[in-house]
Amino acid sequence: MQTKNFIGFPEQKLIAIFEELGEPGYRARQALTWVYHYGIKDFMEMTNLSKNLRTRLAERFHISLPKINKKDLSRDGTIKYLFELSDGKMIESVWMPSDSRRTLCVSSQVGCRLNCSFCMTATMGLQRNLEASEIVGQIMAVNEDLQEKDSISNIVLMGMGEPLDNYDALVDAVRIMISPEAMKISTRKVTVSTSGLVDKIKKFQEENLHVNLAISLNATENATRDVLIPINKKYPIEVLLECLRNYPLKPQRRLTFEYILLKGINDSQEDAERLVHLLKGIPCKINLIPFNPFAPSQYLPPSVETVANFQNYLIERNFTTFVRKNRGADIMGACGQLAASSQSQPVPA
Ligand code: SAH
């Protein structure tokens, strides 16, 4: 019998298997604790489980993480990890330290099929979905690689891929991230980022996970957004925002809107005005992301002054607005620059 990866395996299904084996549910939680809290990779080391149970588990499961193939260290302290998966495919994750947190930007697919015109991952097309084990495996492998003091505090699903286009694995992975028996990361510290797949956003809210949701809005008019994010033709701006106005948020929680700034495309004063109009009344914060260049993209970032004016206009209208630093740009680790293996060509400074 082919064994399944214990990493990423859903807790509820695990409890069901334990019950089939005549074991109470709390034993499943003990096994989870060994793996996710203590990093144990061999069932035989789970000494509070019977020898018989350990053997039965080892017959059904293996415990393995994606392999770190390469690490690039940026001048700003960011580390880009290249992972080799069991079928030889490559994905990237980016670890970003700041004063108060250490964030890992995690991939959800090998490539992506949404074909956004400003995104390097799009140039790969979709090669395959990641499994839940490969999504949470990125976090575990990076934590094992780093010293305890550098261990990851926040997760953003903003790496390669569209998380909601790999729905089932994404939900399984998020459940493991936030489960007290497994990775026990606070729901406030996990962010799922989407290009705006409205049907999947509606489904996701039903899961009651209450992690943060970020939406890559990126434009204020459908004509522009259709070009930047072709899925906009299926889910245009007004449909997306209507869905988000009804998105259930816990008290004190807000949506995040990401807005890439492309010189001459979506960075005008009129864009800032339309953005204010579109987002009025939605509890949210805005992250402006000046375009991170990659060859052979024709887009350019706006001037520092244009970015500052855009930000100030939003702040003056009471929107919490940040400009995202392009962390790790010198190692092609910044937003939208992930495309694994030899495809990553550094951009001349
Ligand atoms: N598919 C998801 C998550 C991956 S993209 C999504 O669309 O949200 C993560 C963020 O990076 C998105 O907000 C996207 O708009 C932004 N991005 C992509 N390419 C970029 C680039 N070259 N420069 C700056 N931001 C980029």
Digit-coded pLDDT (tens) for 104-143:
999 999 999 999 999 999 999 999 999 999 999 999 999 9
Nearest CA to ligand 1 atom 7: 195
Using the mean position of ligand 1's atoms as its centre, give its distance from the Cα of residue 322 in Å: 15
Q: What is the pLDDT of residue 342?
A: 47
Three-state secondary-structure class, residue 104: strand
Q: What is the pLDDT of residue 323?
A: 97
Distance CA 83, CA 138 (A): 8
Q: What is the pLDDT of residue 348?
A: 43
Fold of 4-62: DNA polymerase; domain 1 (1.10.150)
Q: What is the pLDDT of residue 341?
A: 58
Ranges in the chain annotated CATH 1.10.150.530: 4-62
Which ligand 1 atom is at minimum distance from the Cα of 294?
22
- DSSP notation for 70-129: EEEE-TTS-EEEEEE-TTS-EEEEEEEE-SS-EEEE---EEE-SS--TT-SGGGG-EEEE
**What's the DSSP call for residue 208?**
T
pLDDT lower than 50: segments of the chain: 342-349
The domain 67-331: what is its CATH number? 3.20.20.70
Distance CA 167, CA 201 (A): 10
Testing ligand 1's pocket by substitution, the residue of 155, 170, 200, 216 carrying the most ligand atoms inside 8 A of its CB is: 216
Q: What is the pLDDT of residue 32?
A: 98
45 is known as an active-site residue:
no
**What's the DSSP call for residue 3?**
P
Q: What are phi and psi of 332, to 5 degrees?
A: 55, 45
Ranges in the chain annotated CATH 3.20.20.70: 67-331
Q: What is the average pLDDT value for the chain, to the nearest integer?
A: 95
Using the mean position of ligand 1's atoms as its centre, give its distance from the Cα of residue 326 in Å: 12
Q: What is the pLDDT of residue 325?
A: 87
**What's the DSSP call for residue 301?**
P
Q: What is the pLDDT of residue 216?
A: 98
Any ligand 1 atom below 6 A from CB of 259: no
pTM for the whole structure: 0.96
Residue with token string 């400074």: 349
Pure H helices in the chain: 11-20, 25-36, 51-60, 132-145, 167-178, 198-206, 222-228, 237-245, 269-279, 304-316
92 is known as an active-site residue:
yes
pLDDT digits (tens, 9 = 90+) for 309-345: 999 999 999 999 999 988 898 888 888 788 875 444 4
Using the mean position of ligand 1's atoms as its centre, give its distance from the Cα of residue 259 in Å: 9
Chain centroid, CA 101 distance in Å = 16
Using the mean position of ligand 1's atoms as its centre, give its distance from the Cα of residue 193 in Å: 9
Whether 235 contacts 216, CB under 8 Å:
no
How far is residue 46 from each of residues 64, 144, 180, measured CA to CA in Å? 16, 19, 18
Q: What is the pLDDT of residue 326?
A: 86
